[in-house]
Amino acid sequence: MAVYTEVSDEDLSQFIAGYDLGALLSVKGIAEGVENTNYLIHTQKGSFVLTLYEKRVNPADLPFFLGLMEHLAGKGVTCPLPVHDRQGNVLGTLSGRPAALVTFLEGVSVRRPAVSHCAALGEALAKLHEAGQGFTIRRQNGLGLKGWRPLYERFAARADEIAPGLASLISEELTYLDAEWPAALPQGVIHADLFPDNVFFLGERIAGLIDFYFACNDAFAYDVAVCLNAWCFEPDFSFNATKGHALLKGYQSARKLSPLERDTLPVLCRGSALRFLLTRGYDWLHTPKDALVKPHDPLDYVRRLKFHRSVSSAQDYGLEAHA
Amino acid sequence: MAVYTEVSDEDLSQFIAGYDLGALLSVKGIAEGVENTNYLIHTQKGSFVLTLYEKRVNPADLPFFLGLMEHLAGKGVTCPLPVHDRQGNVLGTLSGRPAALVTFLEGVSVRRPAVSHCAALGEALAKLHEAGQGFTIRRQNGLGLKGWRPLYERFAARADEIAPGLASLISEELTYLDAEWPAALPQGVIHADLFPDNVFFLGERIAGLIDFYFACNDAFAYDVAVCLNAWCFEPDFSFNATKGHALLKGYQSARKLSPLERDTLPVLCRGSALRFLLTRGYDWLHTPKDALVKPHDPLDYVRRLKFHRSVSSAQDYGLEAHA
């Protein structure tokens, strides 16, 4: 949530002139996404979001991200559609940064999802998984199983500064996940970060999915696990099985989970909780104390992880026994 | 430039429902203004800016600010128009903060104003001064002559940390201004902060004036001096007399400066430069080193002040001798 790169009005007007969008009418830096700089742009042709990719994004990944949004939009997923410039390119350069312009989506993200939102989200996630088929560019999940240990090693020595005992908890969990992680799950393009922030609603209807900058090829059911973590816990970190049930039922209305996916949901949820614990833990220790953008509390994911460790089967998430 | 207060979607939807604006379609925190939290809102009736007033704004001043925008808009000034809720109020409460909704203005602020922009700005400033007549609420300029010494005393002991010799420069200047400040200048409502950030253009035409949160009753010519400081210096802090000439000519096309206003322009420019030197100096010493919003360099105004001290008459700003 920040504007990292300031763009001069001259540079921006020149950039916009490279598109068939008419004159620039307004530009506002918007607080959306934590990784990149985003501007909401009005031109004579409508509203657009201009993204300048900051240092944490690997420019080599941009054809995947932009191509994926275009592929998904073509399959009927309401997501930002990259706009082609007069030369046909979706990726340009502005103020020394890679930059792209995408269509603006109306909709409001919900801070505290209700059961109905979880149901709609589940269905949208499954449709996203189906729609990703046929997209030919591939991108490894840098924050998947193989990435967790190296990430942890970057702050292991200081993990107990976050909370006493955290280092041994994470070590144990890494050992468990290395041993138990399922190998043969159905794979495809996953969003990998489909938090409520990244889903726009109009009423109870999903109006758009955004922020595909963690998307990658990985297990579909892992994406389900990310969403169970992100959507179905209450503010006191109790798991709401009614929301879990709605999310999983919504998902299965568009794509059935295989027996292996169902059986491994608890371990996938543990992995997903660890993934956010690790990135938050790293950020917690590396964000200046006075920064305006406060890091998220990593312990929120310790609390989720403890729930997942107590789970005996996917039914505990609300999955129907014979769905 | 920040979102200080986060608003939940439920609270926001309820707030918007208090207005005759249809359903809420989208909301984005925008990087506009340094004092308050601003959201760009789309509803079925159009685009609006929602402002939550933060601690630096005195709630007792809000009827002045909002009433002024409504008064000015009624006189043909393109500025944000406060929207009345269903009860007829322009000021509400949201997330525990005073909050108001105003119309959204298209337009782009220019980073490096050209001569034509300065001409348009001068004319718009004079029209603003004329349009303010008849507005009955009054607000003292807390950052006018009488406010400078108390503000300086809050960091005088540390002024030389900013630059050696700054303390004696400011003291000298305060003594000079106390002695030389003109008493009998034409007064009225002034903007007091009409920097390029706060002026929207579409091409070379002014499309809107925003951010009236320093507006107050003070000398019109002091507002002209603020604009000469804000619009007519080059990045190397040389004064561009062509721009000054355009600004003053534009101003006088709508409101003639009196002989006293003309004669005292150099001292008014010194005062205005000192005003921004003082607020920037205070912020420089009181902003955490790691804050994302970097304070502006106070020395930019020492450089401007030095120019004003070298000026022999208003002709040095580009004012025509017999305009």
* CATH assignment at residue A202: 3.90.1200.10
Q: Are residues A147 and A217 in the same domain?
A: yes
Angstroms from A62 CA to nearest CA on chain B: 24
Containing domain of residue B35, as a range? 9-103
Is A135 inside any structural domain?
yes
pTM for the full predicted model: 0.88
What is the CATH classification number for the domain harbouring B24?
Answer: 3.30.200.20
In this structure, the answer to whether residues B158 and B54 fall within a common structural domain is no
A15, A5 Cβ separation under 8 angstroms? no
The answer to whether residue A110 sits within a structural domain is no
Q: Are residues B99 and B165 in the same domain?
A: no
Among B13, B25, B30, whose Cβ lies nearest the Cβ of A106?
Answer: B25
Instruction: Mark residue B109 as left, alpha or beta (left: phi above 0; alpha: psi -120 to 50; beta: remaining).
Output: beta
Last residue of a domain, one of A48, A79, A103: A103
Nearest CA-CA distance, residue A137 and chain B, Å: 31
User: B-contacting residues of A 58-87, CB under 8 Å?
Assistant: none
Same-domain status, B283 and B249: yes
pLDDT for res B287: 83
**How far apart are the CA of B252 and the nearest CA of chain A, in angstroms?**
28
Q: What is the pLDDT of residue A264?
A: 97
Statement to judge: residues B95 and B13 lie in one domain: yes
In this predicted structure, what is the pLDDT of residue B1?
41
- If asked whether residues B25 and B164 sit together in one domain, one would say no
Number of domains in chain B: 2
Q: What integer pLDDT is reported at residue B292 of this predicted model? A: 58
- Indicate if B262 and B146 belong to the same structural domain: yes
Q: A29 and B1 in contact by Cβ < 8 A?
A: yes
**Does A107 lie at the interface with B, CB-CB under 8 angstroms?**
yes
pLDDT attached to residue B3: 64
Tens of pLDDT, residue by residue over A306-319, are: 999 999 999 999 99
Give the closest-approach CA distance of A92 to chain B in angstroms. 21
Residue B109 within a domain: no
Q: Which residues of A touch B9 (CB under 8 A)?
A: 108-111
Is residue A1 domain-resident?
no
Residues B159 and B264 in one domain: yes
Contacts of A28 in chain B (CB under 8 A): 28, 30-32, 40
pLDDT at A199 over 90: yes
Q: Is residue A3 part of a domain?
A: no
Same domain for A248 and A275, yes or no, is yes
Minimum Cα–Cα distance from B39: chain A residue = A30
Decide if pLDDT at A1 tops 50. no
Last residue of a domain, one of A73, A103, A133: A103
Are B203 and B74 contained in the same domain? Answer: no
Percent of chain B having pLDDT more than 90? Answer: 87
**B303 burial type by CB count under 10 A (0-12 exposed, 13-18 middle, 19+ buried):** middle
Question: Shortest Cα distance from B32 to chain A (angstroms)?
Answer: 8
In a domain, B299, yes or no: yes
CB contact (8 A) between residue B9 and residue A288? no
Query: What is the percent of chain A where pLDDT is above 70?
Result: 96
Considering the domain architecture, whether residues B162 and B279 belong to the same structural domain is answered as: yes
Between positions 235 and 294 of B, the ones with CB within 8 A of A are 288-293
Q: Is B32 on the interface with A (CB under 8 A)?
A: yes
pLDDT value of residue B8: 87
Domain C-terminal end among A51, A83, A103: A103
Q: Which residues of A touch B42 (CB under 8 A)?
A: 106
Digit-coded pLDDT (tens) for A259-288 = 999 999 999 999 999 999 999 999 999 987
- Would you say residue A41 lies in a domain? yes
Tell me which of B3, B28, B201 to substitute to probe the interface with A (most A C-beta atoms closer than 10 Å).
Answer: B28
Per-residue pLDDT of A123-171, as tens digits, reads 999 999 999 999 999 999 999 999 999 999 999 999 999 999 999 999 9
- Measured CA to CA, the distance from residue B299 to residue B161 in angstroms comes to 12
d(CA B95, CA B50): 12
| A and B: number of Cβ contacts within 8 A | 93
Q: Which residue has the higher pLDDT, A56 or B309?
A: B309
Inter-chain contact B26–A106, Cβ cutoff 8 Å?
A: yes
3-state secondary structure chain B: CCCCCCCCHHHHHHHHHCCCCCCEEEEEEECCCCCCEEEEEEECCEEEEEEECCCCCCHHHHHHHHHHHHHHHHCCCCCCCECCCCCCCCCEEECCEEEEEEECCCEECCCCCCHHHHHHHHHHHHHHHHHCCCCCCCCECCCCHHHHHHHHHCCHHHHHHHCCCHHHHHHHHHHHHHHHCCCCCCEEEECCCCCHHHEEEECCEEEEECCCCCCEEEEHHHHHHHHHHHHCECCCCCECHHHHHHHHHHHHHHCCCCHHHHHCHHHHHHHHHHHHHHHHHHHHHHCCCCCCCCCCCCHHHHHHHHHHHHCCCHHHHCCCCCC
Q: Are A125 and A68 in the same domain?
A: no
Distance CA A288, CA B288 (A): 10
